[in-house]
Amino acid sequence: MRGGGNVVSMDVRDQELINALHGGFPIEDRPYAAIGRQLGMSEEEVIERLQRLLADRTLTRFGPLYDAAKLGGAFTLAAMSVPAERFDEVAEIVNSFPEVAHNYAREHALNMWFVVGAEKSERINVVLSQIKDRTGIEVLNMPKEEEYFLELRLTA
């Protein structure tokens, strides 16, 4: 979910595709064909499914995930308590920052959660301050203390 938190259903083949992509992306001349062979899909079907999942916002992003800290950068988890009537407006402001990723609606007093990643840790504070200034809403900064790896697997 991003922004307004729309829930979109996926069919079994979409779920299989997402699960396969969580295991890694093949580095070869025709990676979508390789994924298709693994799943019994054509290269075109893999590409079409990914394009549809991106277009309908089931997936908000498809690309590499870099460990900002290992590359000398930094990231943090942030949360806000956004009035329901302003949620879409604030989500648009927050999402306008290129450093923001993984913006999710939550059913909680802190109802907007997002990740901020930057080349330098100082930039994170600047982005969070600018978000507060533009929205008038306090932004909680929650940098990680310990890292865990969880892998998403979808089932029908």
Tens of pLDDT along 54-86? 998 888 778 877 777 788 889 899 999 999 999
Are residues 3 and 93 in contact, defined by beta-carbon separation less than 8 angstroms?
no
Note whether residue 149 is domain-resident.
no
Domain of 136, CATH number, reads: 3.30.70.3460
CA distance 85 to 66: 34
Per-residue pLDDT band for 5 (boundaries 50, 70, 90) equals very low
User: Which pLDDT does position 156 carry in this prediction?
Assistant: 62
Share of the chain above pLDDT 90, in %: 63
Note whether residue 69 is domain-resident.
no
Share of the chain above pLDDT 70, in %: 93
Q: Domain check: are 136 and 82 in the same one?
A: yes
Query: What is the average pLDDT across 10-22?
Result: 91
Note whether residue 147 is domain-resident.
no
Q: Domain check: are 27 and 83 in the same one?
A: no
pLDDT higher than 50, residue 4: no
Outline where 4-120 has alpha helix (H): 12-22, 31-39, 43-55, 87-95
- pTM for this entry: 0.60
* DSSP 8-state code for residue 97: S
Note whether residue 110 is domain-resident.
yes
CA angle centred on 50, ends 49 and 54, rounded to 5°: 115
User: Which pLDDT does position 129 carry in this prediction?
Assistant: 98
Note whether residue 29 is domain-resident.
yes
Per-residue pLDDT band for 2 (boundaries 50, 70, 90) equals very low
CA angle centred on 71, ends 65 and 72, rounded to 5°: 135
CA distance 143 to 140: 10
3-state secondary structure (DSSP) of residue 113: strand
Q: How many domains does one find in the chain?
A: 2
Are residues 127 and 117 in contact, defined by beta-carbon separation less than 8 angstroms?
no
* DSSP 8-state code for residue 69: T
User: Which pLDDT does position 8 carry in this prediction?
Assistant: 57
Domain that holds residue 89: 74-142
